[in-house]
Chains A and B, each alone.
Chain A
Amino acid sequence: MKGKLEPSERQKLIEEGKNLKEALTTLEEDLVKLRDELQIEAQCIPNLTHPDVPIGWEDSSKLRNMVGSPRKFDFPVKDHLQIGKELDLFDFDAAAEVSGSKFYYLKNEAVMLEMALVNWTLTEVMKRGFTPLTTPEIVRSSVVEKCGFQPRGENTQVYSIEDSDQCLIGTAEIPVGGIHMDSIVAESALPLKYVAFSHCFRTEAGAAGTATRGLYRVHQFSKVEMFILCRQEESDMYHEELIKIEEDLFSSLGLHFKILDMATGDLGAPAYRKFDVEAWMPGLERYGEISSASNCTDYQSRRLGIRYRPSESPSTTSKKGKTNLAATKFVHTLNATACAIPRMLVCLLENFQQEDGSVIIPHPLRPFMGGVEAIYPKSR
């Protein structure tokens, strides 16, 4: 229409232009809707799986290794609830009135023990080059979703805040994952290694049965979590590093445990590979999960938008003129439980109980508890 035209020709072109514009607008709207629907469907696709992961359900999980062996008792073994009652360490009854079931108060030495566990764990992991953090425990629900959880699913584990788009975190993995949301990290900054202490809140909707007594399954608990952001080629290596740290921590405390390579049916959407640690709990007469280490590769980073720019080689950088920037890649993220307090309390109380009703404190924790060596029954 820029050239010289007869009026009738011009008119025809104007008509044609208008028709094209309307058709285009409609198609563009359809494209947006299609993209949206594609997103929603595609987001459901779980992460890929490491080739060594066994296929199947819980029974198919593979034993990686076992540390220690079950302690032999020459007196009747009590479970942690009974020990806690006799040593006045927790109160579930008052909490049931004040808050509801699966809530609790810790009392007396249990408080000092929790603090010692957190303090010692943070110190040990910091020694290995992790940056300590405390995190918000209220986060936007979008961040929860980007990490691979479903705040509004049926039987959701996530508590939501009324009249807001906020939720309570079930693990520090979420707020730590969010730190570098929507950003490009320099490759030289990787790996970023964080150890975060937070309280965690879980609805435990749908969980029932005897495996939920006492401290084993609760709505609120303290946890120290490790989180790594790294280059793609290195995530397998850091997964091994994380599980090794866990092994060291739990061995130092004198626990007997096994490490499992979880089968495909048990991975959950974000994990490429997941190692679970199950410790022997003599009072419950079974192994109970105390820790989990997952390699999420780029599942979370594609949702959280965390990229890194591989360092340019010196030849492409030039002070004058343009620098050839390498294309960004998605980081890989990993997370691992360094210490989940309630399950750790179950392990310590049940494994280190003595015939006289006392509980021995593992040596590494004593300096963090003012040197206390054991919890003794109180004379009343």
Chain B
Amino acid sequence: MALQCRLSGATFQSLKLATIPISSSSSRFIFRTLPKTLNLALFSRHSAPKAPPFSVLIRNLSAPAVAAAPAAETSDIKVVKPQWNAAIDFKWIRDNKEAVAVNIKNRNSNANLELVLQLYDKMLNLQKEVERLRGERNNVANKMKGKLEPSERQKLIEEGKNLKEALTTLEEDLVKLRDELQIEAQCIPNLTHPDVPIGWEDSSKLRNMVGSPRKFDFPVKDHLQIGKELDLFDFDAAAEVSGSKFYYLKNEAVMLEMALVNWTLTEVMKRGFTPLTTPEIVRSSVVEKCGFQPRGENTQVYSIEDSDQCLIGTAEIPVGGIHMDSIVAESALPLKYVAFSHCFRTEAGAAGTATRGLYRVHQFSKVEMFILCRQEESDMYHEELIKIEEDLFSSLGLHFKILDMATGDLGAPAYRKFDVEAWMPGLERYGEISSASNCTDYQSRRLGIRYRPSESPSTTSKKGKTNLAATKFVHTLNATACAIPRMLVCLLENFQQEDGSVIIPHPLRPFMGGVEAIYPKSR
């Protein structure tokens, strides 16, 4: 009632807004992509009453058209418009709803499949109704072309006008319905590879292990102590200048970071990947389309004040954006990129001893691999990516295990995810140094990246029309080739010597001017 009192003559407008069914599920941030406009909707969605499903149709038949009132005046309950649309295959979801429901459950996602299906049904019905009315309006228009009595003409004009108003209202409702369907459906996580174990972290399956933990015959130091003694980093000054979890690298650590980046890029380029450096400030919509949530609670994403821009947490985002909203020739696939960038993460919600030193920081350098490929080939390229990682980390002499991550640990975009955990003797545990995900078409449906399968020669003709094959969505994959801080932890802790020095792995030496070890400096 308060809504109506606030308005002076736009009451029906407010009713329209109030009766769009609003879902009441809460705490769904974890797995879904949030449109930017959710800020306002967050609170209203939790408090809005669940309206009866068919109110839209009922109301429309009785409401006369009104001039649109400015949205700002109308109500507390705002209809949320998604900033962008994902090309979601609703029909497929409906036809496979049991599988989708099981997947949602296994992934511990809070996506509301029931609501999506309801909205989809309503939308289909509304579409039919709109088409019917359009047909009637066309009939009326056709009738008016002939010779008519003035009174008959007048009746038709009236009828035409009523139909037009009703149509306008229905079309507006259709738009709102589509918007809400989008928002709900965007929450549905990607499907899961059949071999992926179901459960949480403990259920992740060991794919293989390389090497074994080094046996030390002297007390093992952690990377922080080594770094202090060799004057390799400064966390204290950074805490004053920037805050906790920031750091300066100094002396040989700087050269080591450069060598790691340089060597990694060179190695991956040899395997046919195109090297890139990327923007580290991107539009928040691109972040969302890749499956991250810039504005969720405990978001990992830094936002820039007074803008729609964010800092990237991984080069996956700007690289994913390169072919946004485009159709790639099939012959161009696979597109393989290896990108070097700095990455920024808020690490909100992360606490505890596992965050000491370089293990969890707000800013770091990373070399990332990214592949766009044909649908049938993504499993194969996933294997290729994890093989490259295995080769890189073995070359450096690390001991590590590769895990097939369980459904609860996948995150919304990944169809399948392999994590590499390397042995960190100073921390006395395995720590994640890399992750390789096959996102199939989850990101490409949001980023709008398609490919056109090559036409067979028989359908191409110089004269007349070419029969173009229908486009398909590419599959995208991403994998960490080198995350510098974790790599530094591994190298320092694994290759420390009793005299306090650290041996540089052979492959890196040429990229560091031939330096063979980092020695304690005499002071």
Q: Which residues of A contact B (CB under 8 A)?
A: 91, 94-95, 97-100, 103-108, 111-112, 114-115, 118-119, 122-123, 131-140, 143, 159-163, 166, 168, 175, 178-182, 197, 199, 201, 219-220, 370
Measured CA separation A107–B340 after assembly (Å): 11
Q: A175, B280: Cβ atoms under 8 Å?
A: no
Within 8 Å by CB of B321, from A97, A111, A139, lies A97
13 pairs, CB–CB < 8 Å, chain A vs chain B: A94-B324, A98-B279, A98-B286, A98-B322, A100-B309, A107-B274, A123-B513, A133-B254, A138-B362, A139-B241, A160-B304, A163-B303, A178-B241
Measured CA separation A60–B246 after assembly (Å): 43
Measured CA separation A106–B325 after assembly (Å): 21
Answer yes or no: B251 CB below 8 A from chain A CBs: yes
Q: Given A103-B281, A105-B318, A161-B302, are A133 and B286 neighbors across the interface (CB < 8 Å)?
A: no
Q: Given A98-B322, A123-B513, A134-B257, are A115 and B309 neighbors across the interface (CB < 8 Å)?
A: no
Chain A residues positioned under 8 Å from B241 (CB to CB) = 136, 139-140, 143, 175, 178-179, 181
Chain B residues positioned under 8 Å from A123 (CB to CB) = 513
Measured CA separation A159–B262 after assembly (Å): 29
Q: B304, A161: Cβ atoms under 8 Å?
A: yes
Which residue of A has the minimal Cβ distance to B242? A136
Separation in Å of the B159 CB from the closest CB of chain A? Answer: 47
Chain A residues positioned under 8 Å from B234 (CB to CB) = 179
Chain A residues positioned under 8 Å from B248 (CB to CB) = 133-136, 175, 179
Chain B residues positioned under 8 Å from A181 (CB to CB) = 237, 240-241
Binary CB contact string for chain B from 222 to 236 against chain A (1 if under 8 A, 0 otherwise): 000000000000100
Chain A residues positioned under 8 Å from B240 (CB to CB) = 178, 181-182
Q: B279, A105: Cβ atoms under 8 Å?
A: yes
Answer yes or no: B250 CB below 8 A from chain A CBs: yes
Q: B318, A98: Cβ atoms under 8 Å?
A: yes
Q: A140, B243: Cβ atoms under 8 Å?
A: yes
Separation in Å of the B289 CB from the closest CB of chain A? Answer: 10
Q: Which residues of B contact A (CB under 8 A)?
A: 234, 237-238, 240-243, 246-251, 254-255, 257-258, 261-262, 265-266, 274-283, 286, 302-306, 309, 311, 318, 321-325, 340, 342, 344, 362-363, 513
Which residue of A has the minimal Cβ distance to B344? A138
Within 8 Å by CB of B305, from A136, A161, A199, lies A161
Within 8 Å by CB of A114, from B251, B277, B311, B324, lies B277
Q: B342, A105: Cβ atoms under 8 Å?
A: no
Chain A residues positioned under 8 Å from B258 (CB to CB) = 115, 118-119, 122
Separation in Å of the A199 CB from the closest CB of chain B? Answer: 5
Measured CA separation A294–B261 after assembly (Å): 31
Q: Given A118-B258, A119-B258, are A100 and B266 neighbors across the interface (CB < 8 Å)?
A: no
Q: B251, A132: Cβ atoms under 8 Å?
A: yes
Q: Given A119-B262, A132-B250, are A166 and B242 neighbors across the interface (CB < 8 Å)?
A: yes
Separation in Å of the A57 CB from the closest CB of chain B? Answer: 31
Chain B residues positioned under 8 Å from A163 (CB to CB) = 303
Separation in Å of the B349 CB from the closest CB of chain A? Answer: 15
Measured CA separation A137–B365 after assembly (Å): 12
Among B248, B302, B309, B323, chain A packs the most CB atoms within 10 A around the CB of B248
Separation in Å of the A150 CB from the closest CB of chain B? Answer: 15
Measured CA separation A213–B44 after assembly (Å): 46
Separation in Å of the A67 CB from the closest CB of chain B? Answer: 27
Q: Given A140-B241, A178-B241, A179-B248, are A115 and B265 neighbors across the interface (CB < 8 Å)?
A: yes
Within 8 Å by CB of A136, from B238, B274, B322, lies B238
Chain B residues positioned under 8 Å from A160 (CB to CB) = 304-306
